[in-house]
Amino acid sequence: MPQKPAKRPPPSSHPRAEDGKERTPASGITAGAARDDEAVITALELPGAELTPAMQAYFDKCTEKLGFVPNVLKAYAFHMPKLEAFVAMYNDLMLAPSGLSKLEREMIAVAVSSHNRCYYCLVAHGAAVRSLADDPVLGELMVMNYRAARLDPRQRAMLDFAVKLTAQPAEIEEADRNALREAGFTDRDIWDIAAVAGFFNMSNRIASATDMRPNPAYHGQKRE
């Protein structure tokens, strides 16, 4: 069955911003918003494509494990080659074996997304940090200012590299790589830090470019 990933209500019922009317519901102050939050995923009108069997299975697995399909996947589902490439890269970077723990990779994701102020990624991956760390505060620290977190020197060096790479990529030099080596990272770990930071510099921009909205379920996850 074809998904309807990034579908918006038809233009006639969702006039654009310049006419002064709200295109999507105001957040929360306006009643009745929750329904639309789930229907409208991006600001782009992209007709859904039919999921390939592999992607259908992947979506089913998301629903089984998380209770929902993350909106970023629905947003990509207008074109199977893009969805499959995104899923392949994401799964390799964030879930495959690495010298970085899954939590560490999510910490990089959130610290990078905080620098870029990406709403979608901060909500979705902030929840991941809270859950993987079993710590309702660590995710907030990554979202707000990773420098305020009490990190061990390894994790601090990891995030300093990831955030400098985000903010000033042209100024990364051998001294920065050596700071990671001195903190105990291998050259393969350095690749992985760079690759995760790079991936979220891409994803942050696609989410911001399309006004991607996170699944509401993330907000309440692991708050206590």
Of 39, 56, 81, 184, the one binding its own copies (CB under 8 A) is: 81
Of 15, 22, 56, 184, the one binding its own copies (CB under 8 A) is: 22
Nearer to its own copies, 57 or 153 (CB): 153
Asked if 88 is part of the footprint of its own copies (rule: CB under 8 A), the reply reads yes
In this structure, what token pair is assigned to residue 130?
């809270």
Please identify, among the stretches 12-20, 53-61, 66-74, the one whose residues bind its own copies according to the rule CB under 8 A: 12-20
Kindly tell me the sign of the dihedral angle through the C-alpha atoms of 128, 133, 135, 141.
negative
Asked if 61 is part of the footprint of its own copies (rule: CB under 8 A), the reply reads no
Residues 207/120, Cβ–Cβ less than 8 Å:
yes
Q: How many angstroms separate the CA atoms of 96 and 92, rounded?
A: 5
3-state secondary structure of 2: strand
CB of 99 to its own copies, least distance (A): 12
Among 87, 79, 90, CA closest to 58: 87
For its own copies, the binding residues in 95-134 under the rule CB under 8 A are 96, 103, 114, 116-119, 122-123, 132-134
Please identify, among the stretches 56-64, 66-74, 169-177, the one whose residues bind its own copies according to the rule CB under 8 A: 169-177
Asked if 179 is part of the footprint of its own copies (rule: CB under 8 A), the reply reads no
CB of 219 to its own copies, least distance (A): 5
Number of residues that bind its own copies (CB under 8 A): 102
CB of 44 to its own copies, least distance (A): 4
Asked if 157 is part of the footprint of its own copies (rule: CB under 8 A), the reply reads no
Asked if 58 is part of the footprint of its own copies (rule: CB under 8 A), the reply reads no
Asked if 217 is part of the footprint of its own copies (rule: CB under 8 A), the reply reads no
Asked if 6 is part of the footprint of its own copies (rule: CB under 8 A), the reply reads yes
Residue 178, C-beta contacts closer than 8 angstroms, at least 6 positions apart: none
Asked if 13 is part of the footprint of its own copies (rule: CB under 8 A), the reply reads no
CB of 173 to its own copies, least distance (A): 6
Residues 130/145, Cβ–Cβ less than 8 Å:
no
Residue 119's φ and ψ, nearest 5 degrees, are: -60, -50
3-state secondary structure of 173: coil
Among 161, 178, 179, 180, CA closest to 169: 161
Among 152, 127, 157, CA closest to 139: 127
In this structure, what token pair is assigned to residue 210?
């399309």
